[in-house]
Amino acid sequence: MKNNSVAKVTQNCLIDLHLHLDGSISIPSARELAAISKVTLPEDDNELKKLLAVAEDCTSLVDYLKTFDLPQTLLQNEEAIERCVYNLCTEMSKQGYIYAEIRFAPQFSMNEGLTQEQIVKAAIKGLDKSGFNAQLILCAMRRFDFSKMEIIDNSDLNNETLRLAKKYLGKGVCAIDIAGPEAQCPVNHYKELFAKAKELGVPYTIHAGEALGPESVNLAIEYGAQRIGHGVRSIESEKTMAILIEKRVPLELCPLSNINTGVYPSIKDEPIKSYLDRGIVVTINADNSMVSSTTVRRELQTIVDVFGLTDEQIKQIFINSANAAFLSEASKKQLVDLINAEYEA
Ligand SMILES: [Zn+2]
């Protein structure tokens, strides 16, 4: 390995810690799920892609969020949920991933009468059948009624998500998360949920510091989040940067997603290089691989092209991801060994 050369991201040791199931349904997978769920799709793949992915130059959160409508329709029965997880795992295995944490919100698959437990069990079945080294993160949700401009109280649904995370912890599930509109539903609204998670010994990551600034990251860390979903805006506060450095809380950065949702105008505006230079524990993830037409390899290649990162820095990102995973120390070490072997080859 030449330490100071600009990296080539060809390694087969990809890890994704921040990947939403509903935003990562490939075209062939969508067609299978539609057949299972008896949903009619456009016959032309380009037309179908327009429903599942944003245009390359998308910078609109509204357009971005529209791409989740069809996936939600496709994920309303157990067979489809199981197949969706299975397909994503199989695809990732072929793409050179060695580990993934796939997240989804069970409460979004209840439209046709499934319970959250049936949904979680179906997802675990898909995971187990695939044989791929992956775990599930169950997303609790921030929900906001934009017509009334008020936060929806879905604490019962979120508490049930947490109960299931505890029940299936280590059996396919590794953690919980909270997703949804951060700007309208700040972290403090969910203080109780995470206090309960802590009490139950369920690990958690919190989406924070994406739509809102560093104060959201501070609160997530104060509530005990082991990782921060995005956290990309932490750089706006020296205090937050100091906390991240001191506590070594990993950031789950998703560079292309931040462009597509309009957090930053372009990759060069993202503070990724500053985080690396200052020793923040950075991981690089896809967020929604279908929506943003991306993979961890593409994310890494993009930041290499823009910032001229070295092999050493890319390897460090892989190692960070391995160590930040919701895994036992022994399983993390296995991933680190695979990364070291890939770089020695
Ligand atoms: Zn996310």
Stretch 268-297: mean pLDDT, rounded?
Answer: 97
Instruction: Indicate the number of domains in the chain.
Output: 1
Per the domain annotation, does 5 fall within a domain? no
Instruction: State CA 285 to chain mean position distance.
Output: 7
Residues 114-127: tens digit of each pLDDT: 999 999 999 999 99
Mean pLDDT value across the chain: 95
Instruction: Give 3 or 55, the one with higher predicted confidence.
Output: 55
Write the CATH number for 234: 3.20.20.140
Instruction: Tokens for 264, please give them.
Output: 């930053």
Instruction: Tokens for 318, please give them.
Output: 């892989």
Per the domain annotation, does 7 fall within a domain? no
Instruction: Tokens for 190, please give them.
Output: 């969910």
Per the domain annotation, does 3 fall within a domain? no
270 has a pLDDT exceeding 60: yes
Stretch 306-327: mean pLDDT, rounded?
Answer: 96
Per the domain annotation, does 8 fall within a domain? no
Per the domain annotation, does 115 fall within a domain? yes
Per the domain annotation, does 249 fall within a domain? yes
pTM greater than 0.85: yes
Domain limits for position 321: 14-344
62 has a pLDDT exceeding 90: no
Q: Is 210 a catalytic residue?
A: yes
pLDDT at 261: 94
Instruction: Give 8 or 17, the one with higher predicted confidence.
Output: 17
Contact residues for 36 (Cβ-Cβ < 8 A; gap 6+): 77, 79, 80, 83
CA of 254 to the centre of ligand 1 (A): 8
Instruction: List beta partners, residue 108.
Output: none
Q: What is the DSSP letter of 250?
A: P
Instruction: Tokens for 193, please give them.
Output: 């949920």
List 82, 101, 210, 299, catalytic entry = 210
pLDDT at 69: 96
CA of 344 to the centre of ligand 1 (A): 33
| CA proximity to 204, closest of 155, 254, 138, 116 | 138
Tokens 């020695």 — which residue?
344
- Whether 140 contacts 161, CB under 8 Å: yes
46 has a pLDDT exceeding 70: yes
Amino acid at 255: P
Amino acid at 93: S
Name the least confident of 2-16, 23-37, 320-334. 2-16
CA of 185 to the centre of ligand 1 (A): 15
The DSSP-derived string for 105-166 is -GGGG-TTS--HHHHHHHHHHHHHHH--SEEEEEEEE--EETTTTEE---HHHHHHHHHHHH
CA distance from start to end of the chain: 9
CA of 212 to the centre of ligand 1 (A): 14
pLDDT band at residue 72 under the 50/70/90 scheme: very high
- Is residue 280 left, alpha or beta, with left meaning phi > 0 and alpha meaning psi from -120 to 50? beta
Stretch 306-328: mean pLDDT, rounded?
Answer: 96
Per the domain annotation, does 2 fall within a domain? no
10 has a pLDDT exceeding 70: no
CA distances from 231 to 21, 198, 249 (A): 20, 21, 10
86 has a pLDDT exceeding 90: yes
CB atoms within 10 A of CB 276: 19
Residues 155-167: tens digit of each pLDDT: 999 999 999 999 9
Per the domain annotation, does 225 fall within a domain? yes
pLDDT at 2: 46
CA of 45 to the centre of ligand 1 (A): 26
Stretch 232-261: mean pLDDT, rounded?
Answer: 97
pLDDT at 107: 98
pLDDT band at residue 101 under the 50/70/90 scheme: very high
Contact residues for 264 (Cβ-Cβ < 8 A; gap 6+): 232, 258, 270
